[in-house]
Chain A
Amino acid sequence: MLTDKEVEDKLIAFICHNFMVEPDEFNYEESLVDQGVIDSIGLVEISAFMEQELGIKVAEEDMSRSNFGSVKKMVAFIVRQSAQGNLTNRESAT
């Protein structure tokens, strides 16, 4: 299982690569939408990244500000899901 730090590194690498920002150009405690880093499609892409690359299940009720409201919150959400075994089939099969 990934550590908090590993999850954060992966998520930030994805955000930087995909949304063309540098790691020091945005705040990890604030909303990415608020900071103009992502638009609505960006949220779709991040949730797809969680499911496909990290093997985390994201249900409709998970899509809240408490889980997606900042990088830190997303990391906590991923780690929590992972610990609770809420994984997609693809990942749990490996």
Chain B
Amino acid sequence: MCGITGIFRFEGNTEDLRTRVIQMTATLAHRGPDAWGTYASRDIALGHARLSIVDLSMGHQPMDTGEFVISYNGEVYNYIELRQELQQRGIVFATHSDTEVVIKAYKVWGRNAFERFNGQFAFILWDKNNRQLIAARDRYGVRPLFVMKWKGAWYFASEMKAFDSLPGFRREYDIQHLFEHGLLWNTIGSDTVYKGIRTVEPGTYEIYTGAADPSVHRFYSLGCLPQEPPASFDEAKEELRGMLRDAVRLRLRSDVPVGMYLSGGIDSSVLALLTSQVMGERFKSFSVTFGDPDFDESSYQNEMVSFIGSEHHATRIDYDTVSENFLEVVRHAERPLFRTAPVPLFLLSKLVRENDIKVVITGEASDEILFGYDSYKELKLLQFWARSPQSSIRPLLIKRLYPHLRHYSDTKAYGLMKLYYEDFLDTFSNPLAGLNIRIRNNTVLAAALNKELGVKFNQDDLIDKVKATFPADYEHWTLLQQNQFLEMTTLLDGYLLSSQGDRMALGHGIEGRFPFLDHRIVEQTFSWPDSYKLSGFSQKHILRSAFRGLIPASIIDRPKLPYQAPDLRAFIRNGKPVPLVEQYLSPEMIREYGVFDERFTARFLRRFSERSSHQVGYRDNMTLVFLLSAQIALYWARNPRQTSLDERKRIVDITEKSAA
């Protein structure tokens, strides 16, 4: 995996342009520690920090084919098939890299090339003859790409910290976007939490020809591929096994060994099984274990390890590890977090590096596409209850929603839970679907923000803004399908693939690969009836059925434990905040940064001295992590780390004199 940078329409001399793109690339060296290079011409420059995975000797970047130059981050897994197809059309290749396939596919098929790519990618392509720059990103946002217009020029980078190297530039929060990020767990559309910085949206490409805003085109949206009429459940099971196996097969294409993350859940266990079947040889697997048995999943991990016989490595996390690494984790994540779960993943990628592996298969997105989240269950319950709101029987299902949470199964508390969910009966089917509950719970952040900034919460405005991102068919989808779209564009894109995924893996130069995000699987499973995925309250029902008998039953039938890390217990000890919290949430720093309300923060922290961390709920947990990480992210924006590149690793240095 790699880090990419670009500058377009820079009004200065080429030498300055070159220096600038080198500085930007230096901030991304962690993403590509193996080599780096630059291309510079009159008013365009591209930079690349490389993690070598495919065609180690030839796939250098930026790659210049004469007509096109590309700085490319990612993998197009079906590049072998595309290469053959292009060769049949007479296209000649100089390397065996997928990078060259991307360029030549664009040369032949133009913008229609993107929908042929099966993979995870972000790239900046300079079309010399047409003097246009194309910035594109994969369907689900696995690989990042940010854009900023500043002082007349366009700047592009895999991570926003690259912009911090520009002389005179400083990242500042856009407070309204920060609040929306807090409510939804992602900003909406192409917004980021920073002023003036946009993201290229997943599944789109943008064309830049000059100073004007780019034209933005979508090559993919959920549910866009025509599907066959639904197969029977048994046929669908067979299909799922086959599709997953093929997705794993493609994702094992690599010129370096591939390892895998094993969480102990069904998703990674299924992938471990398929990896061992496809690879046919022993591979390395990696896990996090927790010192606190409340969070530890090592018994399930070990069971799967002995089942597939992998060479297993684990790293143990305790409360101190979380607080000690949080500063560095937020530096990589660049935006506020909601949980500390990125910390274990950051340490996991370190462990992978230490064991000489660069690529890992990982199980994200199964919960989105196969209805594994609680939001699907909540919606199903509300939908059922709303058809007969007076029923005293229907709401009894609430007890089955979260059997592992004490206050849900307690008979007395049932009345209160019923009361809580009753409040959503009127609203759950509005276009925000399952987000209604998340937004309601997260609205507390409005009180946390500095009152002088005047941020207002208006649900109708938010709905309108989110609605603008809906695909054309959205209103014809089932409520659970709508919820899938929302989960994929908020939690998955804005947190799991970015803060917890790409940034944590690439923080140690590790590439994650996601078989469940093979678009063929996403599209096919999307077309299946809801009941295949959520049967009663049985989540990921078809996955469980399809792999029953193939992986240990204890893993298939284990109670669901959401991936979590010991958030509060890492930050509050014996009712007292740890030094990291004391420093970044001190009245002085709150005042200096001006993002949060001083009184709120002080009162919030005092709350923990009055009760043990075991008594604190989801919301306090989330609020603390949000406040702390938002302060720390801003600290890094104001105090960027100086980084430099190793001259000996420079493999491309093109300076081209273009015709004026």
Contact = CB atoms under 8 A, between A and B. Distances in A.
B407 interface: yes
Given A20-B607, A41-B407, A33 B420 contact: yes
B603 A39 contact: no
A44 interface: yes
A29 interface: no
A63 B607 contact: no
Given A33-B440, A41-B618, A20 B447 contact: yes
A33 B617 contact: no
B619 A41 contact: yes
Contacts of B423: 31, 33-34, 65
Contacts of B441: 36, 39
A68 B604 contact: no
Interface residues of A, number: 27
B440 A43 contact: no
B417 interface: yes
* Majority SS at the chain A contact face: helix
Interface string A4-28: 0000000000000111111001000
Contacts of A25: 447
A39 B437 CA distance: 9
B617 A39 contact: yes
A40 interface: yes
A62 interface: yes
B553 interface: no
A84 interface: no
Nearest to B442: A36
Contact of A20 (B415, B417, B604): B604
Contact of B413 (A18, A21, A34, A44): A44
A36 B416 contact: no
Interface in A55-83: 60-65, 68
B446 A44 contact: no
B412 interface: yes
Contacts of A37: 444
B297 interface: no
B407 A36 contact: no
A65 B422 contact: yes
Contacts of B407: 40-41, 44
B447 A43 contact: no
B527 to A, nearest CB: 34
A47 B422 CA distance: 17
A89 interface: no
Q: Select the residue from B412, B415, B443, B619 with max chain A CB neighbours within 10 A.
A: B415
B412 A40 contact: no
Contact of B619 (A31, A39, A43, A60): A39
A12 to B, nearest CB: 15
B446 A36 contact: yes
A35 interface: yes
A6 to B, nearest CB: 23
A41 B611 CA distance: 14
A18 B412 CA distance: 22
A60 B600 contact: no
B618 A39 contact: yes
B419 interface: yes
Contacts of B422: 65
Contacts of B417: 40, 43
A54 B413 CA distance: 18
Contacts of B388: none
A10 to B, nearest CB: 17
A31 to B, nearest CB: 6
A68 B446 CA distance: 23
B442 to A, nearest CB: 8
A36 B440 contact: yes
A31 B418 CA distance: 14
Contacts of B619: 39, 41-42
Contacts of A19: 444
A11 B604 CA distance: 19
B257 to A, nearest CB: 46
A68 B420 CA distance: 10
A20 B416 contact: no
A22 to B, nearest CB: 8
12 contacts: A20-B448, A36-B444, A39-B617, A40-B407, A40-B416, A41-B617, A62-B415, A63-B415, A64-B419, A65-B419, A65-B423, A68-B416
Given A20-B603, A44-B407, 18 more contacts: A20-B448, A20-B600, A25-B447, A33-B440, A36-B439, A36-B443, A37-B444, A39-B617, A40-B420, A40-B617, A41-B618, A43-B419, A60-B411, A60-B415, A61-B415, A63-B419, A64-B415, A65-B419
